[in-house]
Amino acid sequence: MNDATDRAPAGEAWPFQEARKILARLARRPKKEVFFETGYGPSGLPHIGTFGEVQRVSMVRQAFRDLAPEIATRLVAFSDDMDGLRKVPGNIPNQAMVAQHLGKPLTSIPDPFGKYESFGHHNNAMLRDFLDRFGIEYEFRSATDQYKRGVFDATLLKVLERHDEIAAVVLPTLGAERKETYSPILPISPKSGRVLQVPLVERKVDAGTVVFRDEDGTLTEVPVTGGHVKMQWKCDWAMRWAAFDVDFEMSGKDLIDSVKLSSQIVRVLGGEPPIAPIVELFLDEKGEKISKSRGNGLTIEEWLKYASTESLGMFMFHAPQRAKKLYFDVIPKNFDDYLGQLAAYREQDANARKQNPVWFIHQGKPPAEDVPVTFGLLLNLVAAANTDDPKVLWGFVSRYAPNATPEANPILDSMVGYAIRYYLDFVLPDKKHRAPTDLERAALEDLVKTLAALPAGADAEAIQNQVYEVGKRHGFTSLRDWFKAMYETLFGQSAGPRMGSFIALYGVPETIALVRRALAGELVGEAV
């Protein structure tokens, strides 16, 4: 139907390669709309892997829209909020209350935070807030809602009908103990509300019901439709694939076996598995898996504190099938890679642009801003300039890029903000002001007088000369020591900016005040 599937140029960006697989799937199963799914477990808050998955899927969607603009697409963020709670998370309030509801669907447990209709609703809200921050276009669906509204009913009845075939697929993968009680259908107790992992006593295909022993031992019959049962999770996944006819869903390497199993199950249900690429996991600095509970690696909040969403997108774009270390040092590199690609984009033709990461990151519409300095340079600059004031930092930036302004260069302006946060968190804590020696004290007092005597509007060069003269007058063996003394007593660092430029930007009266504070001993021990 579409010869696009036949031309997959070597070296083409991976989202296009995935999109072509979707086109091939469509050729086998023609339909009007393509369904992209990302799934979310109920436990825990969104993390960097969550973001990576949804952003990467968006990139494939972007490529697909380019290949087949006539076909509608839908990206569904699906929350498995009907899952029974197994253990109480350690990071929530009201643990005792939640503990009373173990085994129940998350949407049947009161919100321990007291804000939402249920714990599940709370987690869903967190997830949506999270996704909304990135401007990613998606549609949210709740498992509880979909089960109850009967969206899955037809497929659930098919599961009931083909129960034994599904069990035959799953059983060989289970341990001996679990085999005894296994059923892909988990009834929800009408009495306790808990999701039960119990053997089914009877399956009534015609009636669409199952019979099981409830927790109190009484034989109970419930329909498989309308949210009275929940599917065991691998089957749940497969059932969803079948019910929605999902075309594309990515997953981490830890789910390789689950993808295989669910693919088999979806075939039993008469469906076809989606294109389901496996991506590698994120590793920390030492090459170990990033885990929320261990708190290693980098969180998404940390990344976004020091760099932009787009730079994170750059990280996510590159080689998803490769394990990547995610720790602080990779941020500047990805930021600068992003800026480099953004600059290159403007010079590229239409074909080259579609291989450029920024085309995917910005959904085909990257900004046109010219960013004259790199993030790496800014990080150096902010440490050298020794300031947390954006105006001062901008002053230094202007020396490199005379025409840049915060208004005309919003990306650069945001970089200034990120650099300052970096300064506050990494540079400032290491600052240690020391008291001046007698020699230095005399020179600093001289500096105050000299600066005060300067004509109004003295430029950086003139100030620099005067600072230098002060050093000469006070017999430093090397003038290097004089400047070093100023950095150590005024800034708490052994290195600093060119003094003339700094004073011109920072202000002569302000500098005098700073020196006086150093002389009075007010800076010693500050900002540790």
Partner RNA sequence: GGGCGCGUAGCUCAGUGGUAGAGCGGCAGACUUUUAAUCUGUAGGUCCCGGGUUCGAACCCCGGCGCGCUCACCA
DSSP string, 425-483: IIIGGG-------HHHHHHHHHHHHHHHHSPTT--HHHHHHHHHHHHHHTT-SSHHHHH
Sites for RNA among residues 110-169 (CB under 7 A): none
Q: How far is the CB of 303 from RNA (least distance, A)?
A: 16
Residue 191 is a binding residue for RNA (CB under 7 A): no
Q: Which residues pair with 203 in a beta bridge?
A: 210
Residue 41 is a binding residue for RNA (CB under 7 A): yes
Q: In the stretch 304-323, what mask flags binding to RNA with x, by CB under 7 A?
A: --------------xx-xxx
Is the CA virtual torsion 500, 503, 505, 507 positive or negative? negative
Out of 5, 232, 355, 450, point to the residue binding RNA (CB under 7 A): 232
Residue 328 is a binding residue for RNA (CB under 7 A): no
Assign 419 to helix, strand or coil.
Answer: helix
Tokens of residue 193, six digits:
């509300």
Q: In the stretch 487-526, what mask flags binding to RNA with x, by CB under 7 A?
A: x-------xxxxxx--------------------------
Tell me the Cα Rg of the chain.
31
Per CB under 7 A, which region of 8-16, 149-157, 202-210, 212-220 contacts RNA?
Answer: 8-16
Q: Which residues pair with 39 in a beta bridge?
A: 78
Out of 33, 254, 425, 510, point to the residue binding RNA (CB under 7 A): 254
How far apart, in whole angstroms, are the C-alpha atoms of residue 190 and residue 472? 90
- The nearer residue to RNA, 34 or 255, going by C-beta atoms, is 255
Q: How far is the CB of 32 from RNA (least distance, A)?
A: 31
How far apart, in whole angstroms, are the C-alpha atoms of residue 371 and residue 335? 12
How far apart, in whole angstroms, are the C-alpha atoms of residue 408 and residue 146? 47
Out of 80, 81, 249, 310, point to the residue binding RNA (CB under 7 A): 80
Q: How do beta strands 229-231 and 185-187 pair?
A: antiparallel
Per CB under 7 A, which region of 70-78, 205-213, 249-257, 448-456 contacts RNA?
Answer: 249-257
- Site size for RNA, by CB under 7 A? 62
Per CB under 7 A, which region of 101-109, 379-387, 419-427, 518-526 contacts RNA?
Answer: 379-387
- The nearer residue to RNA, 248 or 502, going by C-beta atoms, is 502
- The nearer residue to RNA, 149 or 253, going by C-beta atoms, is 253
Q: How far is the CB of 87 from RNA (least distance, A)?
A: 9
Is the CB of residue 83 less than 8 Å from the CB of residue 105?
Answer: yes
How far apart, in whole angstroms, are the C-alpha atoms of residue 458 and residue 464? 10
